Amino acid sequence: MWGEVTGPQDSASQAQQADPSGEPDDHPQTAGAGAEAGPPGTPAGPGTPSDDAAATTEAAPDTPPDDEQPKRKHRSFWRELPILIVVAVVLAVLIKTFAVQAFWIPSGSMENTLEINDRVLVNKIVYHTRPIHRGDIVVFNGDGSWDPGTTPVAGNVFQQFAAGFASMFGFGRSGDILIKRVIGIPGDDVACCNAAGQMTVNGVALSESSYLYPDAAPSTQRFNITVPPGRLWVMGDNRFLSDDSRDHQGDPGGGTIPESAVIGRAFVIIWPPSRWRILPIPSTFTQPALNGSPAAAGPPAPATATASLATASTDATQLPARLEPSGQALPLALGLTGAVPVTWLQRRIRLRRAARRRAARPRR
């Protein structure tokens, strides 16, 4: 019966019609694998990497391996080193030119206040904030007043910086630098000596025992001078060995020096350690009467009376306290101290800006 002709024979006939060659399909797994992979763009099967894994693979190059981090930090230090050096040198020149400078004392004209080989710090800012006071120990350039040459002119800020930079590395001429104590300021009447053998300023006697060399006389020569405007009368503390205003009365200014020639005020001894001390203004210069109208000083004492004040030979060799800069170690050390935080700060700012730029980039 027709209805009974079914089963395996019909299935074989259908397979033969689908494959006329009659050969069986020997590659069922290959066909299956191709079906699973599918053409490009089809949804991924169970064995295909996900989109998140692909994104992780693409982002991996942005994060260097851990073993490369120390090398990058090492390279960063060497990139920062030239910046550190440049900042340190610039700060050193600025400090030395406009703020503080160390000087070496080569002679005994300021003994015992300053001894040979002492190192002093000179404040260059103080006279931008207050006038020069009587009793200050000042460092000044003697060119044009006590020594041949042109009176020094400070120049503008850039010229001063250029001069300071040149002197830092041994170029240029620093001038004839000296150190003395201010006795008279503009308008003062300075005289020596009264009947008691004392120096007078505006007729007021000075008690100089706290800073004069032991047993030294205030002066072995008489003088009476009114300090011109813009100038100073200066003297050494060891009057026997000091070449000061008394010995330059025939020079321009009558022995006085211009205020513009003052470099700064010596305010502390920093070397040797056993000599460390502040250099204050002696109390005799703080007498209120010194600031009054110049009083009549009276006639100078007779020459015999003045000569009797000398307790040492008057023909002793007079030595100016010509100063030498005390090397560049101090300004460079101060410059390096200031350069470290400055360099660290600029590096922090640069890294923060870079982090902000990275955060602002759109994510892929």
* Catalytic residue numbers, as ranges: 109, 180
Query: How many other CB atoms are there within 10 angstroms of residue 115's CB atom?
Result: 14
Neighbour-count burial for 128-164, b at 16+ CB within 10 Å, e otherwise: eeeebebbbbbbbbbbbbbeeeeebeeeeeeeebebb
Instruction: Mention every residue, 6+ apart, whose C-beta is less than 8 A from residue 325.
Output: 101, 102, 103, 104, 167, 174
Sheet of 189-192, strands arranged across: 204-205, 200-201, 189-192, 223-226
R_g (Cα) of the chain, nearest Å: 45
